């Protein structure tokens, strides 16, 4: 049972990371990565994925404080989910034509 607790977060986050890397690699080969006109908007676009991971870790920390879930498991799962949310935010914001930043 301990082995499952060790391998499951690794497989979960590894699967998410491989999915995101392959999607970004495919978009890069097609030349369809998100580009913004202003430097501030491009900086925001480039930092959405790491901000998603940071937000996920914060949520995991708060969950482990209020519920009886171990800190290590919540941080690992929530950082993977945050990575996925950050990628989807990158896709949505990257496809917007008009940005006011």
Give pLDDT tens digits for 15-30.
999 999 999 999 999 9
Q: Residue 55 domain-assigned?
A: yes
Rounded CA-CA distance 41/12 in Å is: 31
Span 34-49, average pLDDT: 87
- Asked if the model's pLDDT at residue 101 lies above 80, the reply is no
Mean pLDDT of the chain: 88
Q: Residue 37 domain-assigned?
A: yes
Q: Which of 11-15, 20-24, 69-73 has the lowest mean pLDDT?
A: 69-73
- Asked if the model's pLDDT at residue 34 lies above 60, the reply is yes
Q: Residue 18 domain-assigned?
A: yes
Q: Residue 100 domain-assigned?
A: no
SS3 at position 100: coil
In the chain, how many domains are there? 1
Which residue range(s) make up the domain with 54? 2-95
């Amino acid at each position: 049972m301990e082995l499952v607790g060790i391998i499951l977060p690794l497989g979960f986050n590894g699967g998410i990371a491989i999915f995101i890397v392959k999607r970004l690699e495919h978009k890069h080969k097609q030349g369809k990565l998100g580009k913004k006109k202003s430097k501030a908007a491009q900086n925001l676009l480039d930092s959405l994925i790491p901000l998603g991971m940071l937000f996920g870790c914060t949520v995991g920390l708060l969950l482990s404080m209020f519920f009886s879930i171990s800190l290590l498991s919540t941080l690992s799962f929530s950082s993977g989910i945050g990575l996925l949310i950050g990628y989807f935010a990158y896709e949505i914001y990257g496809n917007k034509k008009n940005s006011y930043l």
